[in-house]
Amino acid sequence: MQKKLSVRHLLGIKNITTDDIELILDTASSFKEVINRPIKKVPSLRDITIANIFFENSTRTRLSFELAEKRLSADVINFSASGSSVKKGETLLDTVNNILAMKVDMVVMRHSSVGAPHFLSRHVKAHIINAGDGTHEHPTQALLDAFSIKEKFGTIAGKKVCIFGDILHSRVALSNIFCLQKLGAEVMVCGPPTLLPRYIKDLDVKVETNLNKALQWCDVANVLRIQLERQTIKYFPTLREYALYYGINRSRLEHLDKEILIMHPGPINRGIELSSDVADSKHSIILDQVENGVAIRMAVLYLLAGMP
Ligand code: CP
C-alpha cells in the first residue's frame, strides 16, 4: 500500500511526524531524478488547480512552487497582494474564498502574520501549504535544507548543525530546529544575545554567542539573513559591527581544524552575515538548496493531493 502523510495541510514541521518528513524526503529523491531527465514533466497533478497566494515578497519559494506545480502538470494561478483588491480593504478570508470559488484544490500561501495559513485551514476545504508565516514557520525550506544535508552526508542523524544569525525574526530557524531534531541531528543556534529569542531555551538546542566556538562545533553552518524589515528596534549598533562579530568569512573558516558545509536560505546579505568568497566557495551548497527546493515542493504537493 502507498504510504500517506498524517496531515492534509502542510502548516509547519512542528505538527508533522518523523515518518511524514522521511516520506517527503524519499518522494523528493524520486522527483529529483524526474527533473533531471530530458522530459521533466509528469502528469501526477493533471486537473488539479493550485493558487499561489503571496502577501509577502519572495523569489525562491514562489518560483520554486510554481515550477514544481508545472512539472506535475497542475493548473496554476498566481496572486500577489500588491496590485490586488487587498489594497482596497478585502479580508484574507474573502480573498481566499473568492479564489476558491474558481475551483481551486490547493493553496500555497505566504503571509506576514503568524498563523495565517492555520486560520485558513480551519475555514476552507482546499489543502493549505504554508510558504512562510511571519516569524513562525517555513516548512518547505526546512525540508529542502534537510534534503540537502542528507544528500551531502548520506544521513542527518548525529550531524551537528548550527543555525547562525537572526534567530529571533526567522521562520527558517524554527522549522529547521523542529525538522533536524526529528531526524536526529544535534542543533545549536548562534548569534548576538539580542537576536536569540527567550523561548529558545525550551527547544532543547545548544545556544552559543561566540561565532568561532560555534563554527568549531558544527558540521553544517546554516547562515540566516539579518531581517532588517522585521526589526522595529535596534538589536545591534551597526551592520558593520554585526559583520565584524557575526559575519562568516574565509579567514574565520581557515582557522578551523576541519571543513564545514555552508548553507543559506537566501536572499543573502553579502558582506554582512556571509562574505562572497564563502557564499561562492566549494563548501557552499546554497544553489543545491535552491535546486532541491523544486523536488521537495513537488513531493509535498503530490503527497497532499493524495490526501482526502
Ligand atoms: N528562502 C526563501 O524563502 O526565499 P524567498 O523569500 O526568496 O522565497
59 lines ligand 1 (CB under 6 A): yes
Average pLDDT value for the chain: 95
Asked if residue 155 and residue 217 are part of one domain, the reply reads yes
Q: So what's the pLDDT on residue 227? A: 82
Q: Tell me how many domains the chain contains.
A: 2
pTM metric for this prediction: 0.96
Same domain as 145, residue 276: yes
Segment 151-162, tens digit of pLDDT = 999 999 999 999
Q: Are residues 295 and 258 in the same domain?
A: no
Residues 22 and 146 placed together within one structural domain of the fold: no
Task: Please report whether residue 54 resides in a domain.
Answer: yes
- Domain shared by 47 and 170, yes or no: no
Ligand 1 and 12: CB distance under 6 A: no
Q: Considering only CA atoms, which residue is closest to atom 3 of ligand 1? A: 61
* pLDDT digits 0-9 by tens, 211-223: 999 999 999 999 9
- Note whether residue 92 is domain-resident: yes
Residue 8 lies in a domain: no
Specify which residues 161 forms β-bridges with.
187, 220
Whether residue 88 is found in the same domain as residue 152: no
Q: If you measure from the C-alpha of residue 267 to the centroid of ligand 1, how many angstroms do you get, rounded to a whole number? A: 6
Give the mean model confidence (pLDDT) for residues 267-288.
97
Instruction: List, for residues 144-153, the tens digit of each pLDDT value.
Output: 999 999 999 9
Identity of the residue numbered 178: F
Q: Could you tell me the residue range of the domain that residue 101 belongs to?
A: 13-137+290-305
Q: Are residues 116 and 166 in the same domain?
A: no
Q: Is 121 in the pocket of ligand 1 (CB under 6 A)?
A: no
Give the model's confidence band at 1: pLDDT under 50 very low, under 70 low, under 90 confident, else very high. confident
Regarding whether 271 and 175 lie in a shared domain, the answer is yes
Residue 2 lies in a domain: no
Query: What is the distance, to the nearest Å, from the Cα of residue 72 to the centroid of all Cα atoms in its chain?
Result: 21
User: 189 falls in which pLDDT band (50, 70, 90)?
Assistant: very high
